[in-house]
Amino acid sequence: QPSSSDAEAVAAGQPLSSGLDPFAPGFYDDPYAQYRHLRETEPVHHSPFGLWFLSRWADCHHVLRLPGTSVDERNSILEGRNEALEQAARDRGARRSKSILGTDPPDHTRIRKLVSKAFTPRTISRLEGRVAEVADDRLDAAAAQDGPVDLIATLAFPLPFQVIHEMLGMPDTVEADHLRSLSQTVTQVLDPVLAMTNTEEIFVASEELGKVIDEAVRWKRDHPGDDLLTALIEAEDDGTTLSDEELRDNVTLLYLAGHETTVNLIGNGLLALLRHPDQAALLRDDPSLDAGAVEELLRFDSPVQFSRRIALEPFEVAGVEVAVGELVMTGLGAANRDPEKFGPTAEQLDITRPDANHHISFGSGVHHCLGAALARLEGRQTIPRVLRRFPEVALATDTPEWNGRMVLRGLANLPVDLGRDT
Ligand code: HEM
């Protein structure tokens, strides 16, 4: 159990005495050192945040697929503990999100089926050419800049943003920078630290984002097209369609998940390659490695580091009893470097690793990422393209700035010198 001084430290944002400590110096540069220590000493760790942290692949995989668990926050004993959050919710008459990410079966099953009807593998595979075109445009924009180029601002963010924006068929009145700032605030709710400290901001941004999406849906009803938003409005199964709230919350989810994650696949992936020039050279010279390299980059520095489950009934994991209502954070990033799963070289980057795709970066079980095929396509069309167009590309700093997020781990910027443009 955590000491009371650790509980006070969390409240004050001070370093903790043990366990997983996001306040420790250097945590965001390298959380993997802490994960390793936990995996070796306390793989089922009870944190002073009041949560369990799992760091072994087998435990995470097991819990993600365990019946009798929930993703609905209302089932958590932590719900209501954050008085500021509760008050802000009451003041604003907030309602529970109906996005599939926070909904359990049977509603989850029904809504996911409807959303999947619009978001089909065929829709994704048709996008390949367009994604390549957007990537080329972004690299033209990078080449036109003088001095070091920030690959987050120039490529890693705008590419997935533009792709999901076009896929949904959003009206042009929706302004990218404004939406980015809203989505960056709203997604802080996923982060155990930021959710506690930035409560009011998160509510204000969620409300505003809801209005933007509502307006887009209204507009789309009058301007249907060959796009995902129209398909979601029209999706029907056994005579049922998505309710207005379900539609709004799931469009919001697709919009946010569509770029707040892939930005980190591209950013973290490029950083890993630039820090391992031998691996970058291997990939640059051999397109047959593209798909495997993306799997390895997803494994090596996972864009989403944690997922969560709440116990609806008591269960045991690695000999530890989790009680009803307790919240378990499954450490996807930690699990992906577990030597019991990936062998003694688990901490190393190896784009030829045959079992890299056993990572759980997209989760597992009924909530497995709906956008995995799109994210993989975007990774494949972007990351090797940078290396092939700019064969001398190199980091312009040894210490790029991280975004300070535990869950959506990524870079705030990635300055590079592009070198020769082929
Ligand atoms: C769910 C990761 C990209 C849409 C998830 C989950 C993870 C994840 C870990 C499962 C959460 C859980 O088990 O609780 C990622 C990563 C991505 C990515 C690492 C990029 C590299 C995308 C994209 C989209 C998307 C591009 C859509 C455009 C979704 C949706 C869900 C989901 C809708 C909810 C599925 C459900 O609850 O049934 N994602 N995602 N994701 N993702 Fe992704």
Residue 18, in any domain of the structure: no
Ligand 1 centroid – CA 398 distance (Å): 30
CA distances from 294 to 1, 54, 66, 104 (A): 39, 25, 28, 30
Ligand 1 midpoint to CA 362 (Å): 6
Question: Is there a domain that residue 225 lies in?
Answer: yes
Do the beta carbons of residue 350 and residue 279 sit within 8 Å? yes
Per-position b or e across 314-325, b if 16+ CB within 10 A of its CB: ebebeeeebeee
In-domain check, residue 23: no
- Nearest-angstrom CA–CA distance, 165 and 171: 9
| Residue 184 located in a structural domain | yes
Burial of 233 (0-12, 13-18, 19+ CB in 10 A): middle
Q: Which atom of ligand 1 is nearest to the CA of 378?
A: 26
Integer Cα distance of 203 and 93 in angstroms: 11
Does the beta carbon of 280 lie inside 6 Å of ligand 1? no
What long-range pairs does 371-376 form, CB within 8 A, spacing at least 24? 371/119, 371/254, 371/257, 371/258, 371/261, 373/121, 373/124, 373/125, 374/124, 374/127, 374/163, 374/164, 374/258, 374/262, 375/160, 375/261, 375/262, 375/265, 376/291, 376/294
Q: Residue 398: exposed, middle, or buried by beta-carbon count in 10 A (0-12, 13-18, 19+)?
A: exposed
3-state SS class at 315? strand
ipTM value, please give it. Answer: 0.99
CA of 367 to the centre of ligand 1 (A): 8
d(CA 108, CA 222): 28
Q: Is the CB of 342 under 6 A from ligand 1?
A: no
Token reading at 390: 């700019």
Q: Which two tokens stand for residue 354?
A: 């045959």
Ligand 1 pocket, mutate which of 72, 359, 369, 382 (most atoms under 8 A from CB) = 369
Asked whether residue 294 is assigned to any structural domain, the reply reads: yes
C-beta separation of 258 from 219 below 8 A: no
First-to-final CA distance of the chain:
58
pLDDT tens digits, the chain, 422 residues: what are they? 444 555 565 555 555 555 788 888 899 999 999 999 999 999 999 987 778 999 999 999 999 999 999 999 888 887 655 565 566 666 655 667 889 999 999 999 999 999 998 888 888 988 999 999 999 999 999 999 999 999 999 999 999 999 999 999 998 888 888 888 899 899 988 887 788 788 888 888 988 999 999 999 999 999 999 999 999 999 988 899 999 999 999 999 999 999 899 999 999 999 999 999 999 999 999 999 999 999 999 999 999 999 999 999 999 999 999 999 999 999 999 999 999 999 999 999 999 999 999 999 999 999 999 999 999 999 999 999 999 999 999 999 999 999 999 999 999 999 999 999 99
Between CA 100 and CA 94 the distance in angstroms is 18
Torsion-angle region of 326 (φ positive above 0: left; ψ -120 to 50: alpha; else: beta): beta
Q: How far is the CA of 363 from the centre of ligand 1 (A)?
A: 8
**Is residue 198 one of the residues assigned to a domain?**
yes
256 lines ligand 1 (CB under 6 A): no
Domain span at residue 305 reads 4-10+39-417
The CATH number for 62's domain is: 1.10.630.10
Task: Tell me what pLDDT residue 5 has.
Answer: 54
Q: Is 303 in the pocket of ligand 1 (CB under 6 A)?
A: yes
State if residue 97 touches ligand 1 by the CB under 6 angstroms criterion.
no
Flag whether 31 is in a domain.
Answer: no
Number of other CB atoms surrounding residue 225 within 10 Å? 10
19 located within any domain: no
Counted domains in the chain: 1
